[in-house]
Amino acid sequence: MTKNAIGLLAYSPILLLMNGYWMLSNKQIFNSELNSIDTVTSDMLTGHTLKTIFVLDHAFPMVVIALTSLVLIVFSKIFSEAMSRWGYVISQQEIVVDENLPNFFEAVTLSESEWIIAENKNLREVYGFNMMQREIETKLDSLPEGHKYIRGVAWY
Query: Residue 74 sits in which domain range?
Result: 2-86
CB within 8 Å of 85: residues ≥ 6 apart: none
Residue 101, amino acid = L
Same domain for 14 and 48, yes or no, is yes
Q: How far is CA 7 from CA 1, 56, 74, 80, 86, in A?
A: 10, 33, 13, 14, 22
pLDDT band at 43 (very low <50, low <70, confident <90, very high): confident
Whole-prediction pTM value? 0.47
The verdict on 8 and 60 lying in the same domain is yes
pLDDT of residue 6: 84
pLDDT digits (tens, 9 = 90+) for 71-103: 988 888 888 888 888 877 776 677 777 788 788
* Listed residues 38, 58, 86: the one ending a domain: 86
> Which tens digit of pLDDT belongs to each residue from 116-153?
999 999 999 999 988 888 888 888 888 776 555 444 44
Q: Are 78 and 117 members of one domain?
A: no
Contacts of 139 (CB under 8 A, 6+ apart): 105
Task: Tell me whether residue 93 is in a domain.
Answer: no
In contact, 155 and 148? CB cutoff 8 Å = yes
Are residue 123 and residue 71 in the same domain, yes or no?
Answer: no
Q: Are residues 23 and 77 in the same domain?
A: yes
Eight-class DSSP state of 104? H
Bridge partners of 155, per DSSP, are 148
Per-residue confidence (pLDDT) for residue 68, from 0 to 100? 93
Is there a single domain that holds both residue 126 and residue 80?
A: no
Please write the tens of the pLDDT for every residue from 51-79. Answer: 888 888 888 899 999 999 999 888 888 88
Smallest Cα–Cα separation from 28: which of 43, 45, 14?
A: 45
Please check whether residues 23 and 63 belong to one and the same domain.
yes
Same domain, 62 and 125: no
Which one of 59, 86, 113 terminates a domain? Answer: 86
Together in a domain, 67 and 25? yes
How many domains would you assign to the chain? Answer: 2
Residue 151 located in a structural domain: yes
Confidence (pLDDT) at 71: 92
